């Protein structure tokens, strides 16, 4: 659904609006935005409440999807090193990693839900 996304700039306080594609949770939309007044830019994750027409957003200056992907790669590399050391000693272990990373939210209407960021398959 395309919704009028309205926010106030965290630097100058100016009201900004834009039409954004906002899917219902657990899907999300990742968008770069810039203030029309001062030009300050940021990233947001947007999702729509599955129970009503409202949206929820997270300021995402750390680029959460990329952060999750980088963290996954780091953890898989470290887990593989641990598995290799265990194999050298005759032990056998395996570690399952999740396919989705949930980020929980509560809508102003009271609905609780989560968006699901895909974890890269690094096996």
Check residue 121 and give its pLDDT.
Answer: 64
The whole-angstrom distance between residue 45's C-alpha and the CA centroid of its chain comes to 6
Residue 32 domain flag: yes
Does the residue 6 lie in any domain? yes
Inside any domain, residue 123: no
Buried residues in 40-77 as b, exposed as e (16+ CB within 10 A): eebbbbbbbbeeeeebbbeebeeebbeebbeebeeebe
What's the token pair of residue 114?
A: 């989560």
The token pair that represents 60 in the structure block: 């995402």
Query: Is 25 buried (19+), middle (13-18) or exposed (0-12) by CB count in 10 A?
Result: buried
In-domain check, residue 77: yes
* Structural domain that includes position 6: 2-118
Instruction: Give whole-number Cα distances, 42 to 53, 57, 61, 95, in Å.
Output: 24, 12, 6, 36
Q: What per-residue confidence (pLDDT) applies to 92?
A: 77
Count up the domains in the chain and report the number. Answer: 1
pTM value is 0.66
| 76 within some domain | yes
Q: CA 53, 59, 62: angle at the middle one, nearest 5?
A: 140
pLDDT for 109 equals: 94
| pLDDT value, residue 62 | 66
What is the C-alpha separation between 23 and 65, in angstroms, rounded?
A: 16
Q: How confident is the prediction along the chain (123 residues), in pLDDT tens digits per residue?
A: 667 888 898 899 999 998 888 999 999 988 889 999 999 998 888 999 999 989 898 887 766 677 777 777 777 777 778 888 888 888 877 666 678 888 999 999 999 999 988 776 655
């Amino acid at each position: 659904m395309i919704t009028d996304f309205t926010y106030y700039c965290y630097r100058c306080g100016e009201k900004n609006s834009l039409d954004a594609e906002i899917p219902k949770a657990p899907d999300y939309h990742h968008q770069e935005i810039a203030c029309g007044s001062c030009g300050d830019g940021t990233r947001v994750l947007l999702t729509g409440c599955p129970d009503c027409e409202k949206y929820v957003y997270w300021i995402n200056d750390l680029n959460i999807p990329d952060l999750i992907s980088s963290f996954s790669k780091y953890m898989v590399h470290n887990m593989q090193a641990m598995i290799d050391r265990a194999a050298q000693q005759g032990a056998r272990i395996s570690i399952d990693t999740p396919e989705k990373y949930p980020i929980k939210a509560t809508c102003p209407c009271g609905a609780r839900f989560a968006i699901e960021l895909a974890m890269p398959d690094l096996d």
